[in-house]
Structure 1
């Protein structure tokens, strides 16, 4: 099994804070999720999370117009420059202060950031002629505000930009120092200015403030005085000499019940969108200020709003509940309406086909997520308390859930409804769940009692109660093959129940420690148990004895928490695994717990294959191994102090949260920092990914990021004889695919060399993608010893020309084959250069011999002799036969009579031999 898993997507979290960004075509949306960024493809229903992560939560995202560079900034002002298409990091930079806004200019040459009360303009990194070691070069710093800058807006020609501030003013600056006279201050608001906008022709400027005032500014002359002024003064005024300046020409007010949180403007269609603190958003048409629509997305404030370039889709983000909406205002329909779990995720499970992931949370909700798109398909809210566990039936059409409200519910995933509810004789909180593979029996256990409850799915009746444990039951699991039930308890034992057997035999295993999690191998012959002391024990179910042990304490990464009085190395907290799971082949185990690591183990050798870090987000507690000693005091860490009372806005200073509240029951922000942990982990049935329910969401680690489908020859019987028959029928592409399926090297070689030269390019174009790497690998293995140099080079050229984009996108898969091809080409180049150098004088000799032959022919004067450069005349077949016979007999007397090239060549050789003999005679003398 492969172990090169990489984070491909983050489910359960669609928006955390900051701004939203549409791509130029308006089909993709960028949203900050914690310390990462997720891209939602709204047309193809796909999503992915960029592999990089910040040290703290992302607050600003910007994308240049060419869609080549993406710049993200976290709460501390640390920026990461990313290649948007390749998803690779280009540069790290620190602005050394909190960035309040970030905007690229429309032409993409500069970007502006708001840092405190200053505006900094930087040149966009470019691979031009002035390549520098530091990609970020600052163009200029603009000052003038007396309070923090709230937003920056560029003009369409990228010459000017407007900055708004908390000092109730807006200022316009010029990018070019020669146009410094265009600087202007817009004063007239009575509250914080949220945003400013240019019209399409840049003749009108709109500014909107927090108190709901929208001012319209135009570049006009000073209006005339009052009617009471003297007529003489009015006559003396010259209209041409009146000064021109930006003036307020119209005032509009929203008259909303709450303050304005965000706003955006689409200049081409004059569409103005504004979001309020009570969850309401409105659409207006400017400059008439006609309200088009008025809707609400909830009771929490709208923190971000964005409109795509076509003006059709509006994106809204609410940070309080992590809600993300994409709204099409013309059809009044939602393109995307997603919301993650409000509280921590307790458990997750894959569907049998691996296409969906179901998560259960403390907020009492069950969400079904599509793995490819990353979107939530359905939400079940019938539970009245925290949901502790979810399990699928074997066919994947029925889902079971256990909750602390004392019920176990069965859900129909075809009609998306609850059709069974199971309860015990007394009210207990169910903390674990197991489902028989046949779907006929469901079992649940509670930490309140020591019994295991068994229900019939058909009748919803409690059919049995399994007693035997002397402590609370912590976890349950069913076997796939023989339907045996394994249960673990705090009494330091694991019991294996045969609930369908007549004898009711029970096998107890003494673990000698508290059991945190258990998993049964798919063949139901082995059991893995995770204990409190960090050990993973493997038990043979049939023999009833321990067959293996892994010490996981040394593999776990544990950080230092803010309340810890000791270092991480001396901490015993979290050095164990609370969730484990087998792979499909039973040879690999993945384990995670209340720590910052996910461990992948090889079971037969009992070694660690890979260790994944859950998060590097410093906003989570437990991610740092060492704390800053300057922030540690006798009373505790300074990071635990609540500084909300220092905020400038009243709604930010008011705190409605419960003191010390961590989870559940409080629909508001937390006073304590969340801790990094993994509550549940599971392998996908497709064996190409696994999912982990972490603090920031459901993390999907996968091997490949796309599903490759091979549509060739799915129904025929592939054998060597049928492959050769296909080759004889000149169906070369099908024969090549069949040979690769059989993986017989001699057969691949035979089919490969039988393909005509003229068909190579066409076959390379039609070759399925799954065989491109194998064909390149095969060519690289035979090219060094093959005599068909040009044939192999033509194959390589055709493959790279046809599948170059796919090869470039998946370089990690083609590393081995491309190295072999590169070695072959380098070897051929060296041989050609060496051969040309070695045969340089031989070529000159033959060239001079050709010239000599031509001269001899001209002196001979024979009409039948052909001069160099002309074609020989046709001769009779009888003459040719006679010449061949004479050559075979070796008769030298008729050489001159034969004439032609042979005679001239003979004379040349004789002259050379004669000259050599003369030289030898001179040396003898």
Structure 2
């Protein structure tokens, strides 16, 4: 199995703060989500999160006019320049203080950032070949308080800056003789937005209280006159001073001199008492809220996702969590893995959702909650059709559904019991007792009717569902059990315990086959209020589709993949580098340490001198009523896709998707000197199709393989498939399954898949364990195309029926009209007679 998984998408992350930007064509919205940015395609109804990230939450972002570059600035003023074409980070820069806003000029030659009470104008990167991508051009002073917003004129000649001192300043981006700066007053609250009219210096300003001021200029943009350059102006002023004997200094323009004595740019100093251009208030209005019409709406879990599950075909993801408020509003979200959007939300639970699961059919979602109910939702009608409860109130912390979809069980964290229901009737079948501690996790065997339950009482119990629901086997652990899962073939059981170990057992004999000590691989982070590093452990386990690897995560920023046979760590993924979250750093931050202890233990807002009270034992999410609440990084649930090409993690930041991208990996197979693109195309010219396919797979370049396959005549597909060796059958089937998902040649690739499965079906069945992920991916692709085509066909059928009914109705009206006209003619003839 390959481990080249890379960050693919982030789902369920909600907007915190920062500005939104539209793409150049206006079809996409670019929004900050934590320390990353998401692109929401309004036209194609898709979302995508870029892999580039800042060290802390993004406070503002700017997009170049051509849509190729983005500047992301975090809360501390650290900025990165990102290419929106290649998704790569091009440059790092630090502004050394928080930045309030950033904006590119419409011509793309400059950009302005505002911090404190100054506006800094830089040369836009990419225009000139310079070592420093951010070259400072000018600094503009004028506001007495922090700046808040920026807007440019359409020709990039001027820009406006709003401030918390209730004024708006207009600055010239170039040397204009009749405009250097101008201050606009009149508001009674903080300026939150300023906007120029198209091709005009007229503008609108909006304050926080809702006041809209309209400003009209007595000068058009064409009326701005070029002023002398700074060097020429300085010489003229010095000459004038010498002639007049004056010693007054110019307060409008100064130099920025670096440490080496080199002039880095200019400083424009403004004063509200000396206006350079006459403007005035023509109208003042108060904005009112109008009726809303949603074009696009997305929402996610407010705080933590507790669990997730893939549908059997890998097309959908379901998540469960809570919003962390006083009045909890737990939400169950259903996500489309292709579009990255949520299309169904279930809100029937009245408390936190602790676990979710799909049935084997993929049309029913089951969820367990702390409100004492287990609910089943129908994905055809999107309704809660079954609600299962216990005889006495219980808080359900775990959930499992058997392979047939007929049995549903949930574990209680207060009564230590397991409740078993029938999905068909909703009746409670049995209450399984035996555990002496809270039941932390449940899992059904995929091949037998056996339930595995793990508890804090340091045991794993195997329950036989066919033999009066009795305990079949009891496995003893060295510490409290936290997670349990079966291998896809049901021949192995993995258990995670509190001491950081993962143990493997044989369910049939109850013998332990191996263990992995993973405590050191987690690299536990230290919370700001902790004096010692807490001992963390894995809380979620998931087998890969082929059963050769296991995915493990817990209260850490790392997710580990282990090889089960060798019991070694294969790869470790850092799911987040966002320092705005707690427990991110392994060691204490010396910058926050004083002689009295950590600054995080001092609550500056209370003023009672008692400091911050430590959280109670067992508190997972922290004290959300505190003045300064920082979410803690943790992975609450993990799940491999049935196709094996991606896996998902429910974390503090949201739902993270990691997937394989084979197009970026060069991985040849059995390569020698004769395997070249020229030799492959030579085989294609001689119509040696089977030989060309074998050589293309040995070179293993995806565009070349696609070129060879699509060149094969349709009537030769069966002949080529029958002559392929077994090892290339697997490779070709895998390629067809991955290509079919995005290709428009639907019938062509379906013919390849049909011939491969028909001619080599028995051999593929013998090695079903290795081929299972490929077959599941093929089913996922076929199902997606089937859904799209069925919708199109239904739409066409309804349109045809409507057109037929309309024509029939018009024909009846025409017949009735003709009959009436005939009757009138007969009456007229009878009257004449």
Would you say how many aligned residue pairs link Structure 1 and Structure 2? 634
Within 5 A, what are the aligned runs for 1:458-537? 458-501=424-467, 504=470, 506-537=472-503
Q: What corresponds to 2:283 in structure 1?
A: 251
Q: Distance in 2 between matches of 1:204 and 1:374?
A: 41
1:682 equivalenced with 2:639 (yes/no)? yes
Q: Distance in 2 between matches of 1:296 and 1:344?
A: 32
1:437 equivalenced with 2:403 (yes/no)? yes
Q: Distance in 1 between matches of 2:536 and 2:173?
A: 56
Q: Distance in 2 between matches of 1:750 and 1:64?
A: 42
Q: CA deviation at 1:743?
A: 13
SS in 1 for 2:298: strand
Contact 2:320-2:331 at 8 Å conserved across structures: yes
Q: CA deviation at 1:596?
A: 1.6
1:349 equivalenced with 2:309 (yes/no)? yes
Contact 1:205-1:217 at 8 Å conserved across structures: yes
* 1:71-120 CA distance string (max 9 Å, x none): 00000000000111100010000001110110000000000000100000
SS in 1 for 2:591: helix
Q: Structure 2 vs 1, CA of residues 161 and 750 (structure 1 numbering), >3 Å: closer, same or farther?
A: closer
1:615 equivalenced with 2:543 (yes/no)? no
1:773 equivalenced with 2:701 (yes/no)? yes
Contact 2:201-2:216 at 8 Å conserved across structures: yes
Q: CA deviation at 1:483?
A: 2.5
Contact 2:621-2:632 at 8 Å conserved across structures: no
Contact 1:219-1:244 at 8 Å conserved across structures: no
For structure 1, the residue ranges without an aligned partner over 5 or more in a row are: 222-242, 257-293, 298-332, 567-571, 647-657, 708-739, 780-809, 811-925
Q: CA deviation at 1:468?
A: 2.1
- TM-score for the superposition, normalised by structure 2: 0.71
Report the more deviating stretch, 195-204 or 529-538. Answer: 195-204
Contact 2:559-2:574 at 8 Å conserved across structures: yes
1:58 equivalenced with 2:44 (yes/no)? no
* 1:214-268 CA distance string (max 9 Å, x none): 22222339xxxxxxxxxxxxxxxxxxxxx99433342222266xxxxxxxxxxxx
Q: What corresponds to 1:208 in structure 2?
A: 206
1:457 equivalenced with 2:423 (yes/no)? yes
Q: Structure 2 vs 1, CA of residues 343 and 661 (structure 1 numbering), >3 Å: closer, same or farther?
A: farther
* 1:381-411 CA distance string (max 9 Å, x none): 1101111111110011011111111111111
Q: Distance in 2 between matches of 1:112 and 1:51?
A: 25
Q: Structure 2 vs 1, CA of residues 148 and 348 (structure 1 numbering), >3 Å: closer, same or farther?
A: same
Q: Which among 600, 614, 636 is matched to residue 561 of structure 2?
A: 600
Within 5 A, what are the aligned runs for 1:138-537? 138-179=136-177, 181-220=179-218, 245-254=277-286, 294-295=289-290, 333-363=293-323, 364-501=330-467, 504=470, 506-537=472-503
Q: What corresponds to 2:89 in structure 1?
A: 89
Q: What corresponds to 1:588 in structure 2?
A: 549
Q: CA deviation at 1:624?
A: 1.4
Q: Structure 2 vs 1, CA of residues 770 and 22 (structure 1 numbering), >3 Å: closer, same or farther?
A: farther
1:106 equivalenced with 2:101 (yes/no)? no
* 1:867-894 CA distance string (max 9 Å, x none): xxxxxxxxxxxxxxxxxxxxxxxxxxxx
* 1:432-482 CA distance string (max 9 Å, x none): 111011011101110111221111111111111222222222111001111
Q: Distance in 1 between matches of 2:303 and 2:414?
A: 23
- TM-score for the superposition, normalised by structure 1: 0.64
Q: Distance in 2 between matches of 1:127 and 1:444?
A: 62
Q: CA RMSD in A?
A: 3.7
Contact 2:178-2:277 at 8 Å conserved across structures: no
Contact 2:669-2:697 at 8 Å conserved across structures: no
Q: Which among 677, 692, 701 is matched to residue 658 of structure 2?
A: 701
SS in 2 for 1:361: strand
Contact 2:14-2:301 at 8 Å conserved across structures: no
Q: Structure 2 vs 1, CA of residues 632 and 392 (structure 1 numbering), >3 Å: closer, same or farther?
A: same
Q: CA deviation at 1:768?
A: 11
For structure 2, the residue ranges without an aligned partner over 5 or more in a row are: 220-274, 324-329, 608-614, 708-737, 739-833
Question: Higher RCO, 1 or 2 (CA under 8 Å, sep at least 6)?
Answer: 2
Q: Distance in 1 between matches of 2:606 and 2:196?
A: 36
Q: CA deviation at 1:150?
A: 1.0
Q: What corresponds to 2:44 in structure 1?
A: 44
Q: Distance in 2 between matches of 1:753 and 1:173?
A: 62
Q: Structure 2 vs 1, CA of residues 768 and 199 (structure 1 numbering), >3 Å: closer, same or farther?
A: farther
Contact 1:344-1:663 at 8 Å conserved across structures: no
Contact 2:542-2:550 at 8 Å conserved across structures: yes
Contact 2:28-2:42 at 8 Å conserved across structures: yes
Q: CA deviation at 1:661?
A: 14
Q: Structure 2 vs 1, CA of residues 418 and 3 (structure 1 numbering), >3 Å: closer, same or farther?
A: same
Contact 2:463-2:469 at 8 Å conserved across structures: no
1:628 equivalenced with 2:589 (yes/no)? yes
